């Protein structure tokens, strides 16, 4: 089964810019961006980010306000703060043995950096990998990491998989099945997430008096390190 998957990947794998490097910093940036954002949205933003801050030191030296502004539009802006904090730590102390010691880095992201930057024999388990292993009943090795991600993103979809196009269909016990939809995230329109986003955008444009803003949203952004409040003025952190 694994050989069939790898043969498929040789011809059908996605050409993604972060797959053209084994630099751990570049891989870390891509994985943090991809945590909750679709690939096509990440692709141009990743390229622009690496052009602007090509090394850990460059990002660590950048003002946090610039990093937050550069992240806008990718969603879940706290990831920008965590990535900047991680770069600052690495620039000062080097890469930790366990990457989960870095802000915002969980087990999957740590394993992905190990696999794609250092060619470690570890299989990062994301939702796509987990779905395919569960459906096939097969435990793939680290060799199939990128192939599994692509198969899950393009063929073995969460709800209506394209079994007729799948290289594993001949041996997959779940072929032809349809699946219940996963729990959907609540709508963005009218949500507190939208209020946070709107408030951060206002502060990104210029410092504002607290009384002019949505205070509940401001306080949430402050807790996440995305804004600072000094003498009643809300601004991006320096």
Q: What is the pLDDT of residues 124-160, one digit of tens each?
A: 999 999 999 999 999 999 999 999 999 999 999 998 9
Residue 47 contacts residue 181 (beta carbons within 8 Å): no
Residue (of 38, 51, 83, 89) closest to 64 by Cα position: 83
Instruction: Answer positive or negative: Cα dihedral of 206, 210, 215, 220.
Output: positive
Q: Name the phi and psi angles at 20, rounded to 5.
A: -100, 15
Question: Of 31, 40, 216, 222, which residue is the catalytic one?
Answer: 31
Q: Is 40 a catalytic residue?
A: no
Tens-digit pLDDT profile for residues 54-84:
999 999 999 999 999 999 999 999 999 999 9
Q: What is the largest CA-CA distance in the chain?
A: 67
Residue 172 CA to residue 224 CA, distance in Å, equals 44
Model pLDDT for residues 165-210, shown as the tens digit of each residue? 999 999 999 998 887 766 666 788 889 999 999 999 999 999 999 9
Mean pLDDT of the chain: 95
Scanning the structure block, which residue is given the tokens 């329109």?
A: 189
Q: Are 121 and 140 in contact (CB under 8 A)?
A: no
Name all contacts of 200-206 with Cβ < 8 Å and 24+ positions apart. 200/68, 200/72, 200/77, 200/226, 200/227, 201/72, 203/227, 203/234, 203/235, 203/236, 204/68, 204/69, 204/72, 204/236
Q: What pLDDT sits at residue 90?
A: 98
Distance, CA of 178 to CA of 161 (rounded, Å): 7
Full set of structural domains in the chain with CATH:
1-13+120-184 (1.10.1670.10), 23-118 (1.10.340.30), 192-235 (no CATH)
Q: How far apart are the first and last CA of the chain?
A: 52
Neighbours of 231 (CB within 10 A): 6
Whole-number Å distance between alpha carbons of 200 and 202? 5
C-alpha 233/C-alpha 21 separation (Å) is 42
- The rounded distance, in Å, linking the Cα atoms of 105 and 33 is 12
The DSSP 8-state label assigned to residue 62 in this structure reads S
């Amino acid at each position: 089964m694994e050989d069939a998957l790898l043969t498929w990947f040789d011809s059908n794998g996605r050409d993604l810019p972060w797959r053209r490097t084994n630099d751990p910093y570049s891989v870390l940036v891509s994985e943090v961006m991809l945590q909750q954002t679709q690939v096509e949205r990440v692709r141009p933003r990743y390229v622009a980010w690496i052009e602007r801050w090509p090394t850990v030191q460059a990002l660590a030296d950048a003002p946090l306000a610039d990093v937050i502004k550069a992240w806008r539009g990718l969603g879940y802006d706290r990831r920008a703060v965590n990535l900047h904090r991680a770069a600052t730590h690495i620039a000062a102390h080097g890469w930790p043995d366990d990457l989960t010691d870095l802000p915002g880095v969980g087990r999957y992201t740590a394993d992905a950096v190990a696999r794609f930057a250092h060619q470690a024999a570890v299989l990062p388990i994301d939702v796509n990998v987990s779905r395919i292993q569960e459906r096939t009943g097969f435990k793939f090795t680290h060799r199939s990491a990128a192939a599994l991600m692509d198969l899950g993103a393009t063929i073995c979809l969460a709800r209506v998989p394209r079994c007729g196009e799948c290289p594993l269909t001949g041996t997959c016990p779940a072929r032809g099945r349809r699946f219940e939809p996963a729990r959907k995230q609540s709508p963005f329109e009218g949500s507190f997430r939208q209020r946070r986003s709107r408030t951060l955008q206002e502060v990104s444009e210029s410092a504002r008096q607290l009384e002019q803003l949505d205070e509940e949203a401001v306080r949430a952004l402050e807790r996440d390190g995305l804004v600072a409040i000094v003498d009643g003025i809300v601004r991006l952190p320096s």
